[in-house]
Amino acid sequence: MNIKNIQGDVTVSACPVTLGSTPSSSCCTRALSQRELTWVDLINRYPSPRECLTAFVVSSAAEVIAGVKPANLIRIMKRALPCGRCMYHLWHEYGEEVLQDAAIQVVTLRSDTDGVSLLFYRPELLTKRLSSRTMQSFLTGCGYPQPLTIDSAMAHMQKVFQVEESPNEIGMFLGYPAKDVRGFIAAKSRPWQGRCLWRVYGPPQRSLRLYQRFSAERQAVNQRMMSGMANDSPAALLLAS
């Protein structure tokens, strides 16, 4: 039940809420003056393997690096990109080094024969979200242990990911509205209003604003990397967080 943004041969899982069926309308239809930049536009700009991986991490976790989203779920497939590189192998070779001084952290939720699922997160934002009554109540109902901390939540989620590729509750960690996550779980009895990176239930305005903010941050970061300026190098953007 993943929503996935395909960037080259790298799969970025944005939300646990599926887009499998066609909605009557989309709450996130936007008029764009030009095509939005994606990781595909950046892939050939970085000949160094380490810098290539850094650019991928910065683009894929842009909203998290910017501090507007607590976490992003990234699925890296074990296959070659059009340039011939395999991001899976680059991650295992350079991943720890790339994130050494960054404000974001990562936990491996699932590793299988096809690839690896990584949760990139900002500890301070995720801690704040986990401390909310809504999150505490929701995750307790999902079987998460108390007291709920980042360490206990991650340990439990790793166990869940061994059974489910993308459990319903991951949307709460990714910063999506609780009403939409709950709406998806009860999807059989609740009509949905449209879709962004996730299905929207109930009044769509807040969900739309949130999606637009996430999208704007990613576009801003991708445009900066496209500029080629020294201050906008992948490493500089990652450390600036």
Global pTM value: 0.84
At residue 13, the pLDDT reads 39
At residue 195, the pLDDT reads 66
At residue 32, the pLDDT reads 37
At residue 134, the pLDDT reads 92
Residue 165, judged by CB atoms within 10 A of its CB (0-12, 13-18, 19+), counts as middle
pLDDT tens-digit readout, 114-157 = 999 999 999 999 999 999 999 999 999 999 998 899 999 999 99
At residue 202, the pLDDT reads 84
Residue ranges for the chain with pLDDT beneath 70:
1-35, 188-195, 241
At residue 190, the pLDDT reads 62
